[in-house]
Amino acid sequence: MNVYFDTSWVSKHSKPNLTEDEIKEVEAALGISFPKEYKKIVQKYNGALIEPNVIDFNDEEEVFEMLIDLLPNQEFNIVSTVKAFQKRERLPEKVIPIATDPGGNYFCYDFRISESHPPIVFYDHEFEWDDDNLTYVRPNLTELLNDLRD
């Protein structure tokens, strides 16, 4: 599978490139395998701030602000975020936050729906978790990034 995406959404704030081994370590810690499109994006744009960053879904607009860092030596990283959610029972296993909005909400992969092609869902942290608090956003990250606007 080839992954094609428009990189005009990337700001200049992304962190150093990730290696395949670093991504595999994160996957092992989370018990999932990220889609190829996500791996390709985070290898080059790990932790990037996103511009333009507005996405429309469910008759609302939200800001897709930043990809969550995969590197474990960063204070705010994907493994610690998932563990914190699971400890507080805020998200179920297999729902993995990959990006934030400015208000502390999360864009997540929902691996419960598909292990190989998980859709992107939005989690509003103001509510206790249940399936009604996960809103479908897009079938994949590439489509989400290509639909961003100012």
For the chain (150 residues), the mean pLDDT of every run of 10, in chain order, is 47 72 96 96 88 92 94 88 85 92 95 97 80 88 93
* Tokens, residue 142: 């590439």
Residue 102 lies inside a defined structural domain of this protein: yes
Residue 1 lies inside a defined structural domain of this protein: no
Residue 2 lies inside a defined structural domain of this protein: no
pTM: 0.88
Domain count, the chain: 1
| Domain region containing 61 | 7-146
Residue 90 lies inside a defined structural domain of this protein: yes
Residue 95 lies inside a defined structural domain of this protein: yes
Q: Domain with 95 in it: what CATH number? A: 3.40.1580.10
* Tokens, residue 6: 């428009």
